[in-house]
Amino acid sequence: MNQIFKKSLLVLACTSTLFLAACNDSQDDYITVQPEKTFVSESPYKFAGLDEASSIKVMTYTMKNVQGQTADATALVFFPKTAAPADGYRTVVWEHGTLGNADNCAPSNNELGPRFKDPLAKSLLAAGYVIVAPDYEGMGTRGIHPYLHLESEAQSAISAVVAAQSQYKQLNKAWMSIGQSQGGQASLGTAQFANADVNYKGAVAGAPASSLDRIIFEVAPAALNAAEEKEIAAGMTIAQRATSGSIGAYATLLSYASFAAVGIKAVDPRFEYGTIFAGQRSKDIAALAEGTTGDNGLCLDSAQPETAPQDSIRYRFAMDIADFLMKNSDKKLMDYPGLDKTAFYQSAQIKKFLMDSQPGNVKIDKPMLIIQGTADMSVPFPVTKGLYEVMLARGSNVEFLPVPNATHTAAIVEKNKEAVEFIQKYMPVR
């Protein structure tokens, strides 16, 4: 079975369907800086670049973290090959989807993600935009990433733009944001916290995470049960279900739950995240998201899936769920001791997390475009449509673009042209 998993990890990464939708150091370790001095340093990006980019830099800057302290953060900065307009390049902030909590999960420490690189990054660079791609708080720098914390994600983006504009004088002050999944939620959060900034022009959000408890305990279990019944009727093996079916999907859900639970420690170091998991086996795997230091946990997927598949928390959950079902033939998928619903809802920290992670709770004046696939079971279509309707009722300036039959990651790729046109409409390159 291990060989099957090794050969199928990339399939699992692309076909998983369900989404949960991520210890503070002492104050002495943080640097006090002036807002106008948010830029700290830059270094070359050490992985393969893009033909459309003249340069890719790793920028270190400072931001206010969830403890209200000043902390270092990192971001990628992409410059196009096109000449700068007379009044400077416009900036688009890319906010990435779920990768993990740890430093080695950060985009600046990895090859460029395929769904960011092609077609979005290539399209924006070819059009003449600068791209700033923050790793988010606690990714690439000290501290745990407060996964899905809306204000933290927004501050990561806002501070990165401030730092880039202060350092690179060829930048215009105008900027927008775009992201998918966790990044879609982050882009809406950026619109919320940058709403008063006259230079911020709007947001694009693909499949934004929202209503997380509803997904976890209502939508996901029903979908998993239905999928399991179909798989068993079709004669799928446990190994097949683990790589491209319900087991792999449940492993993905539990992985995101682990990132969220561990990430709460960035906000409240007292939080015992193991209490929301139903059994010791799931508690032990969830702890791998934190690792031994908070900076060395496992990522969602392994950087070397063929040779080191065990370096993936999704793989660990998939293997354990498969083992549980093979040793307990009378059990169903949802019998695996994953999340403890009662403990989840009894936790004050979880209640705060749900509030801190929910986008669209205030009126936002800046134009926003939400792109959502109708076949998305990670962030289901009805959940996002409900979010759009709530935002519309609050008077927010939001458009909704359904993508028929598109899955979680496919929707924003399929509508890349529309996403770029939206950015060009509200922030022309010159």
Give the per-residue pLDDT at 20. Answer: 38
92-121 mean pLDDT? 95
What is the average pLDDT value for the chain, to the nearest integer? 91
- Confidence grade of residue 1 (pLDDT, cut at 50, 70, 90): low
pLDDT at 189 over 70: yes
Give the per-residue pLDDT at 115. Answer: 82
User: What is the tally of helices (H) and strands (E) in the chain?
Assistant: 16, 9
pLDDT at 11 over 90: no
From 259-273, 345-359, 369-383, the region with the lowest mean pLDDT: 369-383
Per-residue CA distances from 273 to 182, 294, 300 (Å): 20, 13, 18
Give the per-residue pLDDT at 41. Answer: 97
Domains of the chain: 2-19+212-354 (no CATH), 27-208+361-426 (3.40.50.1820)
Contact 215, 386 (CB under 8 A): no
pLDDT at 19 over 90: no
**What is the phi/psi pair of residue 146, to 5°?**
-80, 80
Give per-residue pLDDT as tens, 290-322. Answer: 999 999 999 999 999 999 999 999 999 999 999
Q: Output the DSSP codes for 98-147.
A: ---SSGGGSGGGSPPPHHHIIIIIHHHHHHT-EEEEE--TTSSSSS---T
Give per-residue pLDDT as tens, 211-250. Answer: 999 999 999 899 899 999 999 999 999 999 998 899 998 9
Give per-residue pLDDT as tens, 276-291. Answer: 999 999 999 999 999 9
pLDDT at 24 over 70: no
